[in-house]
Chain A
């Protein structure tokens, strides 16, 4: 079974500072990894995904994440935070299971941007 651990349920950064949201996964087979963003009372929007191609994945809104197999990590970064980045971020993992796949989510990290 796969799982995801997000370190830090709340992260605060100053506007213009580096954003780093941590995610570690556990999977017995090569996983697909995802980061989603959720704004208040909204649905989930896909930021980026890792599908075993390039280990450095670029997403929308200036975010990127690097898949590190040796560390079982998939941390999300953005060089310079913007006020509009304030939201909840979810890391998720799925593995192929004869076509029956589930997406397993972490518990989320709430990002606050300090003006």
Chain B
């Protein structure tokens, strides 16, 4: 049973380009959470998705950031027109349930985005 798969592991983008981060949840997991870790900081919640639905995006910046979790395929976190401040590690976690989600959640290895 493969764990939560994130790719790419490392991504370099020039300012103004788009970044697409992918997260494949564990088999049987339909709840996905994205977190951002800025250098020397803890992880901050960004968005919570179920298949084809955004449940909570209260942690997402209002502009340039979007997320989806389609019926088929991985969850995608998309950052348009990246800026240097977007440089961070982005982690996703998946869980088989919503209530008590993190008692059974697993985190991926993260995608480290560097904006140059």
Contacts and interface: CB of A to CB of B under 8 A. Distances in A.
A78 B67 CA distance: 39
A106 B33 contact: no
Contacts of A34: 102
A102 B103 contact: no
Nearest to A6: B42
A99 B99 contact: yes
Instruction: Report which residue of B35, B41, B55, B102 has the largest number of chain A beta carbons within 10 angstroms of its beta carbon.
Output: B102
User: What's the interface size class on A, roughly?
Assistant: 20 to 34
A65 B56 CA distance: 30
Interface residues of B, number: 27
6 contacts: A32-B100, A46-B106, A49-B102, A96-B100, A102-B56, A105-B35
B110 A43 contact: yes
Please provide the 3 A-B residue pairs with the shortest distance between their CB atoms, ordered closest to farther: A99-B98, A43-B109, A105-B42
B45 interface: yes
A36 B105 CA distance: 12
A15 B74 CA distance: 43
Interface in B43-102: 43-45, 48, 55-56, 59, 91, 93, 97-102
Instruction: Report which residue of A32, A99, A104, A108 has the largest number of chain B beta carbons within 10 angstroms of its beta carbon.
Output: A99
Nearest to A96: B99
B25 interface: no
B55 A94 contact: no
A51 B103 contact: yes
A77 interface: no
B112 A101 contact: no
Given A90-B43, A100-B56, A106-B42, A49 B103 contact: yes
